[in-house]
Amino acid sequence: MSTCSLLALAQSEDRDYERADYEGVEVRWCPGCGDYSVLTATQRLLAEEGLKPEETVVVSGIGCSSRFPHYMNTYGFHGIHGRALTLATGVKLNRPELSVFVVMGDGDCCSIGAGHWLHATRYNIDMVVLLLDNEIYGLTKKQTSPTTPQGYKSNTQPRGSFLPALNPLEATLGITNASFVAQTAEWVPAHLYATLQAAYRHKGFAFVRILQRCPHFTPDIMNELVTDRDQVQLLMHDDGINAPGLDKVFENRRVHDPSNLDAARRLASDSQQTRLGLFFRDESLPRYDDLRRTTRLTAEERIELLNEELALYAV
């Protein structure tokens, strides 16, 4: 988005926003890509929450999903592979008033960015983190990713993926100070939107894994989940994610209290069942951005403090 456009929006303080206000350049994902659904839900969320485009930042790394900032009429940063969370952390710590959204693919987050994923979760900084997981490296043309199912054939492992897939939910729930962990699917738009809304309203690091189809390289991976609703279990609770009408669509439901971390870990580690919902939430956990926040200094005050520090080493 151009600076002129953002400044023009900033001048109109009292205005109602529509989804079109957040639409960026022409979208160029493959037809049928699940990323479209996530983009639409995110734009709808921003409009309904009334987030100003000039006070919203979308950060990404590298991958198909990481083109997200180009398609959003907000500030954005298209970073390098695996570094989206470090960039977002810097933005939020220096500009805490901004709403920060991070978009990563399964390779971007769970492979080269895994170390940053671990520490960003522990820091629990207030941001929404979306892992768009199609279980393959799509941008580099069907290479095995950390979440590719064991035995699935790719261009890098033509005889099938050697290792069991990494479980992003189980991994995140095992990190100290994880405060919000949820899973949704791009083909269930009502649940997707409700999950994004809950993540945005959470105060802390909101991690959302979004099951997402790649129609070009892995059209078969999630077909059964899409066509057979009984294979998807909804987690239900008054304090969870409750999208209107879905309880009538999905008969396979389970009551789960998202304040119970041990239960959340057990459910996340169950490889026999795919679950959508809020696994865990705890807003009482410490947030690094709150703990380190100090009074903002003027430029003159910063220079004065810097000179005082340098004077200590004068010879």
What pLDDT is stored for residue 5 in this prediction? 56
- Mean pLDDT, residues 212-222 taken together: 89
H or E stretch covering 277: strand 274-281
Domains detected in the chain? 3-286 (3.40.50.970)
What pLDDT is stored for residue 138 in this prediction? 83
Highest mean predicted confidence (pLDDT) among 3-7, 77-81, 97-101, 135-139: 97-101
Inter-CA distances, 131 with 19, 237, 304, 306, Å: 22, 23, 43, 40
pTM score of the predicted model: 0.89
Measure the CA–CA gap between 106 and 96, rounded to whole angstroms: 27
What pLDDT is stored for residue 88 in this prediction? 97
Cβ(122)–Cβ(207) below 8 Å? no
Nearest partner of 167 among 216, 127, 133, 121, judged by Cα: 133
Cβ(280)–Cβ(180) below 8 Å? yes
Q: Is the pLDDT of residue 297 over 80?
A: no
